[in-house]
Amino acid sequence: MSASKSSLAALTLGAIGVVYGDIGTSVLYAMKEVFGSGHVPFTEANVYGILSIFFWTLTVIVSIKYVVLVLRADNHGEGGLVAMLALASQSVKDRPQLRRVLLLVGVFGTCLFYGDGVITPAISVLSAVEGLEVISPAFKKYVIPMTLVILFGLFAVQKRGTSGIGKFFGPITVVWFFCIAALGVFHIMEDPEILWAISPTYAVGFIWNQPFITFIILGAVVLCVTGGEALYADMGHFGKKPIRVAWFSIVMPCLTLNYFGQGALLLVHPETVKNPFFNMAPDWFLIPLVGLATMATVIASQALISGAFSVTKQIIQLGYLPRLQVQHTSVKDTGQIYLPFVNWGLFVTIVLAVVMFKSSSNLAAAYGIAVCTDMLITTVLTFFVIRYGWKYPLWLCIAATSFFFVVDFAFWASNLLKLLDGGWFPLLIGGAVFTLMLTWKDGRRLMNKKLMADAIDLPSFLEAVFVSPPARVDGTAVFLTAEVGTVPNAMLHNLKHNKVLHANNLFVTVRSHETPWIGLDKRIEIDSLGHDCWQVVINYGFKNDPDVPKALNHIKARGCDLNPMTTSYFLSRDTVVPSLGEGMAPWREKLFAQMHRNASAAADFLNLPNNAVVELGSKIEI
């Protein structure tokens, strides 16, 4: 019993560090943007109304929607938009047209995650370093250079992995939450009546009396729930209970106290509206607070960067992106990975965002539209999961999701007002990634169609070959092939040029499925083709790490004994040649050919031993 309590405590601490870093640093800029926008007249009634809206936004969107309801929609213990997408597509697999639409919507939502992944580190770290301006206006010219140095340091250490510094994430973030709560309590004690703003009557009154202003400021209010999607995305790392315990016991109370403390401060000192968070601190505590805020924002950014690595790997497994170089940074935790291309691509785009927008207030205009679109997509996909996957009655499904749809839609529509002020930036990033993903998916489909048109039936081919068999040499040949039952190009080239067959021949197809994990009991399917030849299918979930040699160890009991020292892996290295005719637009075919050329080697992705791989090239016109 004590061990399970200790494990829950450790997981809860980890969840606070990784899951809640983003939403925990929203106190730096959310209140500032609502009152700094100039749309809300500065009155006591409005301060009470805004605080009430903040509290009930956190309650409805985070506490009820994500923590209580959406966390129930787990895909074999995994969460996040990719897991939800897989769950929704499986739920409507008997409706192909609907499934295709949901896949497109879900993939677009995943693409917007990259837009969020650029804005979040930029606005978080920038808003923390801007605390220096509160200490002295002379520091203003150092804010952007310091932000860029901190971000460069953060991205530079990614290749070392997070296992070393990860153990400090939880404790530092807990200190951060207790610190912001203490600052809030200090100012609430000056005006305890501010706590009455918890009543929803103040929020309803503000909305009722000022509906137009409410609609406009929702684009800033949404900043208080940024990071809500992370709750769901990190479910697989920590489980539902630690995430829920962390939210209700520490995160939500500390956030509420700080926001209400900022409200109390603004009522007493309206001039602090330019940066209410840092003005909460006494002068002697300003420099330590800036340092602590910077650490908290770095941790929040780290969680999002790690999330970008994981999501990219899952998308590659689902077939929407080409293979990229994946480095494992921990021998114990297979989930800790590093993708150099994604890492430095994010960094360059974040630097561009910081230099273009120059301040956290300007970045706030760009923030929100990607987050709100993802929240809206999650709600839509949830409907299809509970209706078609869980078979709940239609009226219950509509009742459970329509309320959240209306709330999400209101925030989304409000954020559209910021489209020209910077909202276009994350949409541009998401749109570019979406174009790449669809081009890759369509290009692979056309390529496979071409390969299938030219394919030779494997059993018939082997039957013909063994009528007058070529010379056979010792060892095992593993031929990687995209389609089961077809002759691999690599085998045709091997017979044509080398005129030999190995003693054992395996025709291996690697399949990725729309489930996070596939256990070892379902990993291998093997059929004998006679003449010491076998057809092998290796199954992986989108969170499994492909490792063909390790998987093939499991076929020894099926009558095929592999000796690693005498096994060779034959791959076909295809060169794509764009051509006129049916297919994609010429520019997309050229883009696909470039992506295909720059994809990392299949041998590395499948973890094949470098000294046992033979690649034979061929050209394919699409």
Helix (H) or strand (E) holding 458: helix 458-465
Cα–Cα distance between 115 and 342 in angstroms, integer? 13
**Separation between Cα atoms, residue 24 and residue 176, nearest integer Å:** 8
User: 358-395, pLDDT tens digit by residue?
Assistant: 888 888 888 888 888 888 998 999 899 888 888 889 99
Say what the pLDDT of residue 1 is: 44
- Residue 269 pLDDT exceeds 50: yes
SS3 of residue 614 by DSSP: strand
Contacts by residues 479-482 (CB-CB < 8 Å, ≥ 24 positions apart): 479/505, 479/506, 479/507, 479/508, 479/570, 480/508, 480/509, 480/510, 480/548, 480/569, 480/570, 480/571, 480/572, 480/602, 480/606, 481/507, 481/508, 481/509, 482/448, 482/451, 482/509
Residue 69 host element (H or E): none
205-229 pLDDT tens trace: 999 999 999 999 998 898 898 877 7
Scored b (16 or more CB within 10 A) or e, 200-238 reads eebbeebbeebeebbebbbbbbbbbbbbbbbbbbbbbbb
The predicted model gives 15-26 an average pLDDT of 86
Higher pLDDT among residues 234 and 182, named by residue: 182
Task: Give per-residue pLDDT as tens, 557-603.
Answer: 666 777 888 889 998 877 777 777 677 888 888 898 888 888 877 88
Taking the alpha carbons at both ends of the chain, their separation in whole angstroms is 61
316 contacts 199 by C-beta, under 8 angstroms: no
The answer to whether residue 20 scores a pLDDT higher than 70 is yes
Residue 553: the pLDDT is 84
pLDDT tens, residue by residue, 58-69? 999 999 998 888
What is the mean predicted confidence (pLDDT) over 515-538?
A: 87
CA distance 293 to 128: 5
Q: Which residues contact 439 (CB under 8 A, 6 or more apart)?
A: 584, 588, 591, 592, 595
Using only C-alpha atoms, the chain has a radius of gyration, in whole angstroms, of 27
User: What does the mean pLDDT of the chain come to?
Assistant: 86
Could you give the CA distance from residue 457 to residue 455 in angstroms, rounded to a whole number?
7
Token output for 440: 């890759």
Three state DSSP letters for 215-260:
HHHHHHHHHHHCCHHHHHHCHHHHCHHHHHHHHHHHHHHHHHHHHH
Query: Where does residue 588 rank: exposed (0-12), middle (13-18), buried (19+ CB within 10 A)?
Result: middle
pLDDT at 5: 60
- Enclosing H/E stretch for 505: strand 500-513
The pTM of the whole model exceeds 0.85: no
Domains of the chain: which residue ranges? 2-442, 455-621
Q: What angle is formed at CA 304 by the lines to CA 244 and CA 544, rounded to 5 degrees?
A: 80
The structure tokens listed for 322 are: 């080409």
Determine the pLDDT at residue 165.
Answer: 62
What is the CATH superfamily name and number for domain 2-442?
Answer: Amino acid/polyamine transporter I (1.20.1740.10)
| DSSP-assigned letters across all residues of 301-318 | HHHHHHHHHHHHHHHHHH
Residue type, 4: S
